[in-house]
Amino acid sequence: MVAAGWEVVVATHVVNHGAIIEREGFRLIPIRMRRQSPSLWYEWQSLRELVQIYRREQPDVVHHVALRPVFFGTLAARYVGLPRVINALTGLGYLFTSADWRARWLRYWIQPILRGLLRHQSVSVIVQNSDDQGAIRNLTGLTEQQIALIPGSGVDIQHFTPQPQPEYPGGVIVATMVSRMLRDKGVPELVQAARLLQQWQIPVRIQLVGAPDPDNPSTLTREQLQVWDAEGVVSWLGERSDIVQVWAEAHLALLPSHREGMPKSLLEAAACGRPLITTDVPGCRHLVTDGIDGLLVAVNQPEQLARAIERLVRDADLRRRLGAAARARVERYYAEEVIVRETMRLYQ
């Protein structure tokens, strides 16, 4: 957008990465909004802050990413009377997928408000897979013209390039999961699968890369992850930014998630030529065709997950074939250039 002559302003909660955002040529406005609010008063202040920013900036297009910014940002934009609102719902997330009583209670109150906010001629919605497209249509009553299917945020295929398969003593295979450390990403099921693989004496090391997310109700604790690591059932490497190197050190990628929009970690792994093992759920199944560029397993089925890992551990030719097909699929459908072109078309 900057290259096309737009002025881009980013309003976000800033912790560590403000300078990185500004180096991209964006004007940064730090805001108070977080993904988990401490109080209703905090929510009210966040909404007031957005109203003030929108009044001052008067953007031609405002683009909200994820459910909380969509909810509060659309409310503020409608109040101020902005001409064009684009809402990216990158997966339906905890609120719409959890069976927890708090999520069900919030869902009961938020659904009708969200429906009223989104059903307006100034509003368009971006979803990342066809399952979410149908769910949003049923939830809001939006027309097909108001819902754009743009599969993910794109992956830089010049940066994430095919990596040779690593070699370790004893022929050990490394299977890696890159994700926030959340229960609904399937981390506990992967730990159970790792225990089974140890019992079966399969020469594989399961690695977890990522940090807990205290703002998410589904988060695991550092203490629990450290216990699993000390036990030797999995290796928890914490958060890493050198993701190409992570995939260079791994033979295959794992994500036994309960639901996704379009999983960025699997896109990056596929671009590096890694075969994928993931769950047959929205988002994941749109990226992987079982037996072609990866393997699909049922959600919350540790033994099935363990059997899929065992299959790729034992078959190097299958790993190479699936990895090459995964790379080809990313080049065709999910490269950054493809996603940028579709998003810019929506803006224009």
DSSP string, 283-299: THHHH--BTTTEEEE-T
Report the C-alpha gap between 40 and 46 in whole angstroms.
Answer: 10
Going by C-alpha positions, the residue among 47, 46, 109 that lies closest to residue 78 is: 47
Report the C-alpha gap between 268 and 273 in whole angstroms.
Answer: 9
In a domain, 324, yes or no: yes
CATH of the domain at 312: 3.40.50.2000
| pLDDT of res. 112 | 76
Last residue of a domain, one of 114, 149, 184: 149
In a domain, 134, yes or no: yes
Residue 117 shares a structural domain with residue 237: no
DSSP string, 128-178: SSHHHHHHHHHHH---GGGEEE--SS-B-TTTS---PPP--GGG-EEEEEE
Total domains present in the chain: 2
Cα atoms in the Cβ-side hemisphere of radius 13 Å centred on 174: 21
Burial per residue of 253-271, b for 16 or more beta-carbon CB atoms within 10 angstroms, e otherwise? bbbbbbbbbbbbbbbbbbb
| pLDDT of res. 252 | 97
Tokens of 39: 């109080």
Report the C-alpha gap between 107 and 110 in whole angstroms.
Answer: 5
Residue 48 shares a structural domain with residue 178: no
In a domain, 25, yes or no: no
Residue 99 shares a structural domain with residue 235: no
In a domain, 191, yes or no: yes
Going by C-alpha positions, the residue among 240, 183, 190 that lies closest to residue 211 is: 240
DSSP H or E segment with residue 277: strand 276-279
206 backbone dihedrals φ, ψ, rounded to 5°: -95, 125
Q: Quick check: 223 and 246 in contact, CB under 8 A?
A: no
DSSP H or E segment with residue 28: strand 27-30
| pLDDT of res. 266 | 96
Name the 3-class secondary structure at 134: helix
Name the 3-class secondary structure at 89: strand
pTM: 0.84
In a domain, 162, yes or no: no
Tens place of pLDDT for every residue, the chain, 348 residues?
898 899 999 999 998 899 999 999 999 999 988 766 667 888 889 999 999 999 999 999 999 998 889 989 999 999 999 999 999 987 665 556 566 666 677 766 677 777 777 878 888 899 888 888 887 787 777 777 788 888 888 899 999 999 999 999 999 999 999 999 999 999 999 999 999 999 999 999 999 999 999 888 889 999 999 999 999 999 999 999 999 999 999 999 999 999 888 899 999 999 999 999 999 998 899 899 999 999 999 999 999 999 999 999 999 999 999 999 999 999 999 999 989 999 998 888
Tokens of 38: 């401490």
| Parent domain of 100 | 31-149
| pLDDT of res. 92 | 63
Report the C-alpha gap between 86 and 122 in whole angstroms.
Answer: 8
| pLDDT of res. 197 | 98
| pLDDT of res. 97 | 59
Report the C-alpha gap between 66 and 299 in whole angstroms.
Answer: 23
| pLDDT of res. 262 | 86
| pLDDT of res. 193 | 98
Report the C-alpha gap between 205 and 169 in whole angstroms.
Answer: 12
279 backbone dihedrals φ, ψ, rounded to 5°: -95, 155
Q: Quick check: 204 and 234 in contact, CB under 8 A?
A: no
Report the C-alpha gap between 173 and 249 in whole angstroms.
Answer: 10
Residue 128 shares a structural domain with residue 176: no
